[in-house]
């Protein structure tokens, strides 16, 4: 990570887990174990119905609450959908977009991701855009091509002025929920390629201001190595974010006092 130019972000993707009755206890334990953690921005993304409970539980802390998805439509006859305006209305600050589970299980396309990114930014909600290759793409050696295309499509039409609000999460699909991870250097190489792409689109100043996270089986044991990489500016954490102590340990692993910070752009 490079704290000089961009924020470190540690985000929890709770997926379809937790009940309202569990959120408060989670928040109390996390606040106690993580403390104010001023070295990073901490975000929790619960299911839609748990957002108010999470906002209440974290209201006396620096923890922001995000959503796990949003509709690409503005309003109207879209039963079951939740719009960017509705999320903004209740104070949601971040939204995960294009998670591989949405792409794989619900047929979300790169174009859908782009429409959702546009919708979120129009309502001042920070998109956490998920990209990543699957196992077959990795075996074929097309990781950079795949990820580059996903990022380019997701960001189509996004002006440089809004890029600072964008967070990108590199999440190799084969690493999500599997306990397998790329080496920290391999993950950083992909994050570096994403930054190079943004540099080509919007210039060096914008590229160095965008936070690029790693996601996929991040744990307290591997977080330090991953977060010490210069182009990895945080983590999107699934399984380990369901344990307040593990999530707090990952937040502490992002503290630059705990690793040899590297300060290149």
Say how far apart CA 254 and CA 156 lie, in whole Å.
Answer: 31
124: left (phi over 0), alpha (psi -120 to 50) or beta: left
Q: Which of 44, 117, 218, 253 binds ligand PEP (CB under 6 A)?
A: 218
Q: Which of 67, 237, 250, 253 binds ligand PEP (CB under 6 A)?
A: 237
99 in catalytic set: yes
φ, ψ for residue 43, nearest 5 deg: -130, 135
* Minimum distance of ligand PEP from residue 58's CB (angstroms): 20
Q: How far is CA 23 from CA 26, 50, 57, 248, 249, in A?
A: 5, 8, 7, 15, 18
Q: Which of 217, 228, 233, 252 binds ligand PEP (CB under 6 A)?
A: 217
172: left (phi over 0), alpha (psi -120 to 50) or beta: beta
Say how far apart CA 265 and CA 202 lie, in whole Å.
Answer: 15
171 in catalytic set: yes
* Minimum distance of ligand PEP from residue 179's CB (angstroms): 8
Identify the CA nearest to 218 among candidates 246, 188, 255, 244: 246
Q: Which residue is nearest to ligand PEP (CB)?
A: 238
* Binding-residue pattern over the window 170 to 209 for ligand PEP, x denoting contact by CB under 6 A: -x----xx--------------------------------
Judged by beta carbon, residue 204 or residue 221, the one nearer ligand PEP is 221
- Residues contributing to the site for ligand PEP (CB under 6 A): 13, 99, 171, 176-177, 215-218, 236-240
């Amino acid at each position: 990570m490079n704290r000089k130019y961009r924020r470190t972000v540690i985000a929890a993707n709770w997926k379809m887990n937790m009940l309202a009755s569990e959120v408060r206890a989670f928040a109390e334990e996390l606040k106690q174990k993580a403390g104010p953690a001023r070295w990073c921005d901490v975000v929790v993304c619960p299911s839609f119905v748990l957002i108010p409970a999470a906002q209440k539980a974290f209201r006396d802390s620096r923890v922001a609450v995000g959503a796990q998805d949003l509709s690409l439509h503005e309003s109207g006859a879209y039963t079951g959908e939740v719009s960017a305006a509705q999320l903004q209305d209740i104070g949601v600050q971040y939204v995960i977009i294009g998670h591989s589970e949405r792409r794989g299980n619900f047929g979300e396309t790169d174009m859908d991701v782009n429409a959702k990114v546009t919708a979120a930014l129009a309502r001042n909600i920070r998109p956490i855009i998920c990209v990543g290759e699957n196992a077959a793409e990795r075996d074929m050696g097309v990781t950079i091509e795949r990820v580059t295309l996903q990022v380019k499509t997701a960001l189509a039409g996004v002006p440089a002025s809004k890029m600072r609000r964008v967070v990108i999460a590199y999440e190799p699909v084969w690493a999500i929920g599997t306990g397998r991870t790329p080496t920290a250097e391999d993950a950083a190489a992909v994050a570096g390629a994403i930054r190079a792409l943004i540099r080509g689109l919007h210039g060096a100043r914008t590229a160095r201001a965008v936070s690029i996270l790693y996601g996929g089986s991040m744990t307290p044991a591997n977080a330090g190595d991953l977060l010490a990489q210069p182009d990895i500016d945080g983590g999107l954490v699934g399984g380990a974010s369901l344990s307040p102590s593990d999530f707090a340990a990952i937040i502490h692993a992002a503290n630059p006092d705990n690793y040899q910070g590297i300060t290149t752009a």
